[in-house]
Amino acid sequence: MKLKHVQSSLSCLTPHLAFPSPNIRLEQYPTSVELASHLAWSAWNLGDIVEIESDYEEDYEEEEEGERKELEDKGEAEETSEGTSVLDLGCGTGILGISSCVVGATSCISLDADPSALQVCRENVERMDMTDMFTFIEATLNYDPRNKSGGTQDDDGLPLDDRCVDVVLTNPPFGTKNNAGIDMAFLKAACRIGRKAVYSFHKSSTRDHVIKEIGKWGYGGEVKAEMKFDVGKIYKFHKKGNVQIDVDLIRVDLTGKI
């Protein structure tokens, strides 16, 4: 599967990713098709999302077959009849979960604290004809701003069992508006809920801190891509029309404690 094919499949959603009433307290900024595509493609390429069958792959089957065989020969992909389950944590308008289903995930839980964002997420899922693959949950993550390392792992308040999905995807708030450490709270909750891996975006300037904290939790973390997050002029305090923030796509391996 080529990255450009994932981007092409998602391009129709570009006009529909904005938040209807952006909430600065929740740091609501839309995730671009480019970032979502790269995350989903990386999860597929590394064998964390295993494709069973997808309508989005029919045009590319011949070239994908060779790529997938190469991954299998390396032992990086394992076929399973059960498919791959995903959680889009803090899903916003839904692009990460949808992108995961484009590359082969068979089910997705989309969870967010904002009901208006969840409604847009539902509409985008319908646009992609994926309704049967999704479950939507409105819930708020418990967060203690005094703890910049994410709090304790058993008090996140989310209505999901430990290790109940294969892969967790998240683009958490970066913690820039009086909520320092909320990105780590999201990441720690993701590590509790996932079985195989977590993929999460973080400001590149926090890289050393994030990787260090992941190690303290007993997991291995690795930067899989360095990218740009485009922030438009969404809120009244924004002075510039568009700003690019350096971000890392970090993968956490949940399969073995270190």
Per residue in 152-176, is it b (16+ CB within 10 Å) or e — as a string? eeeebebebeeeebbbbbbbbbbbe
Sequence length of the chain is 258
pLDDT of residue 256: 80
Domain assignment present for residue 192? The answer is yes
Domain assignment present for residue 258? The answer is no
pLDDT of residue 24: 65
Catalogue the E-assigned strands of 117-241: 134-138, 165-170, 194-203, 220-232
β-bridge mates for residue 223, sequence order: 250
pTM of the model: 0.85
Domain assignment present for residue 221? The answer is yes
Is residue 47 within a helix (H) or strand (E), and if so which, with residue range? none
Specify the CATH number for the domain of residue 138. 3.40.50.150
Condensed to tens digits (0 to 9), the pLDDT of residues 62-91 reads 455 555 445 444 444 444 457 999 999 999
Domain assignment present for residue 15? The answer is yes
pLDDT of residue 77: 43
Number of domains in the chain: 1
pLDDT of residue 64: 53
Q: Point out the residues of the chain with pLDDT beneath 70.
A: 24, 53-81, 146-154, 176-177, 232-241, 257-258
Question: What does the block give as tokens for 51?
Answer: 């494709």
Per the structure, the complete domain to which residue 32 belongs is given by 3-253
pLDDT of residue 145: 73
Domain assignment present for residue 146? The answer is yes
pLDDT of residue 196: 98
Domain assignment present for residue 208? The answer is yes
pLDDT of residue 229: 84
Which residue from 198, 138, 203, 196 is spatially nearest to 174, judged by alpha carbons? 203
User: Under a CB-based contact definition with an 8 Å cutoff, are residues 231 and 243 in contact?
Assistant: yes
Domain assignment present for residue 67? The answer is yes
Domain assignment present for residue 44? The answer is yes
Going by the DSSP 8-state scheme, the letter that residue 111 receives in this structure is E
User: Under a CB-based contact definition with an 8 Å cutoff, are residues 88 and 97 in contact?
Assistant: yes
Amino acid at 139: A
pLDDT of residue 144: 77
Condensed to tens digits (0 to 9), the pLDDT of residues 40-69 reads 999 999 999 998 754 554 445 545 555 544
